[in-house]
Amino acid sequence: MTIPISTYLIYLAISIALTIWVGRTLHKNGRVFLVDVFHGNDALADSVNHLLVVGFYLINFGYVSLALKLGYTIETAEQSIEALSFKVGMVLLVLGGMHLFNLFVFSRMRRRSKVHYHPPIDPDGFTAVEQEA
């Protein structure tokens, strides 16, 4: 196998493994948040969780495949490692960004679902109300 081909294959292997790892982590740990957001409605939480993870995979694999092209030729093993580290670094940054964005979405949904029904303060007093005829 030539050096460029093996560089691409290693890049794909590392990127796909990382994406799947982060995706599974999100899927596993995001569920608790979503169950809370949907007030214990497990079915809805699982459904939204799954849909979010699908979106996450699509965006990440899309990025990984778009970023595959190097644009220059690799001749030595050093160049291969440098190219790999750059590409994998970019994938990691995108994954990190997506991960933080997901967390933001989760926490935002959670906050939104917490509608408070009690008044902010105690009343000053009480008065009788005449019901309108």
Partner 1 sequence: MLALTVLYDPECGLCRRAHEWLAEQSKLVEINFVPCASDEARKRYPQLNHDLTKQDLTVISENGWVYFGPKAWLMVLWALTRYRDWSYRLAAPELLPTTKRVVSLISQNRYQISRATGLSR
Residues that bind partner 1 (CB under 8 A): 115-117, 119-121, 123-130, 132
Q: Shortest approach of partner 1 to residue 124 CB, angstroms?
A: 5
Q: Considering Cα of 39, then 44, then 46, then 51, what sign does the dihedral take?
A: negative
Taking the least distance from each CB to partner 1, the nearer of 1 and 115 is 115
Taking the least distance from each CB to partner 1, the nearer of 28 and 108 is 108
* Helix axes of 77-113 and 3-37: crossing angle, nearest 10 degrees: 10
* 3: CB partners within 8 A, 6+ apart: 74, 75, 76, 77, 79, 80
For residues 87 and 118, the answer to whether their CB atoms sit within 8 Å is no
Please compute, for residue 56, the number of CA atoms within 13 A of its CA located in the half-sphere on the CB side.
Answer: 28
The span from the CA of 7 to the CA of 74, in Å, is: 9
Q: Shortest approach of partner 1 to residue 105 CB, angstroms?
A: 19
Q: Shortest approach of partner 1 to residue 117 CB, angstroms?
A: 8
Q: Shortest approach of partner 1 to residue 112 CB, angstroms?
A: 10
Taking the least distance from each CB to partner 1, the nearer of 66 and 115 is 115
Taking the least distance from each CB to partner 1, the nearer of 2 and 127 is 127
